[in-house]
Structure 1
């Protein structure tokens, strides 16, 4: 299939596995994937400028169909501004925790969950790199209570049924001295969003 008829998903590296799993599950063989660094989850100001460059580079390669595999993700409206200017769509929602849960369901419960710290498969798998090291909790454990003192629980939003990751999430909750809750979400709104984006070009 010529590149102009393929769909390029420009996604956060934190959901790369999930995007690939959805495309494989749904036999979306005409979908390509490129990612920005997953660690930018911690530095959202970097996302929007890099996204504009990625869209430009994709079009120079011949892609006419582009879908953004990011929610708003703390970009303070900048990502939506770029999407509007470039004529591309992104997955709906404020962040991946919402679209994995299902945006409507997540927003319905947000008023009672403002003291929850969320994990996904990726953040659980790389808890040290995404939480402990950036916050320097390994070197300054006294910061743990300063940073997480207002949280009451860790909620692990699991995309896969992986006992090893469940054990790691429990360990993370113990490390932060928080209660633990497990919720299996699967791919949530990500799957139908990719299915729609990958429909044959009209």
Structure 2
């Protein structure tokens, strides 16, 4: 079940849905974590949000959050040079210790609400309520399940040093798969991941959670018909 490695580079994806093309100044650019790229595109298509473009920073940077804010500043600067006036940061707080919020304040733009993607996929209010009793859970999303080797096994060197498994995960009791899609193959992979870590397994279908209304709000102006 070895997955391909995550490419450590910025990728740009056009997600225009409606016919025709809005000028860059009227389009919305989402600068997102690569871990939610599929979900951003899916929500855009599902809701027929016109005038939305997507650029992603490497998904693996969730392991190295200090890299996120400097790269975000660079991408925002490049976007301004290209003529984008409307930008959404496609991250929650994500361990940046307030740096993304500083960028939002300085640039007059917004990010997705919440501490991390596990929260906004679950629904921030629901997730925060669950953390009071669920502090020994290790969470997976579709992306982390799909790339479990690249995101968990390889960075922690569990493939080379399996004895580290119990040292790292000894205080966890279960794996909770927060599923964005109803995919039997991913459910099987998530169950395999739980077995690999020696933990109990729980499946929860979240869909896109708070990500969907966040994108709907951000794209509202671009989605409005021209007069």
TM normalised by structure 1 equals: 0.99
SS of aligned partner of 1:138: coil
Q: Deviations over 1:86-130 (max 9, x none)?
A: 111000000000000000000111111110000000000000000
Distance across 2 between alignment mates of 1:7 and 1:43: 27
Kindly report structure 1 stretches of 4+ aligned residues shifted beyond 6 Å: none
Correspondence 1:88-127 to 2 at 5 A:
88-127=109-148
Name which of 79, 94, 104 aligns with 1:73.
94
Unaligned stretches of 5+ in structure 1?
none
SS of aligned partner of 1:80: helix
- Aligned counterpart, 2:14: none
- Alignment length, in residue pairs? 202
Residue 135 in 1 paired to residue 139 in 2?
no
Distance across 2 between alignment mates of 1:160 and 1:48: 29
SS of aligned partner of 2:221: coil
TM normalised by structure 2 equals: 0.88
Distance across 2 between alignment mates of 1:183 and 1:54: 34
- Aligned counterpart, 1:34: 55
SS of aligned partner of 1:112: coil
Distance across 1 between alignment mates of 2:177 and 2:151: 15
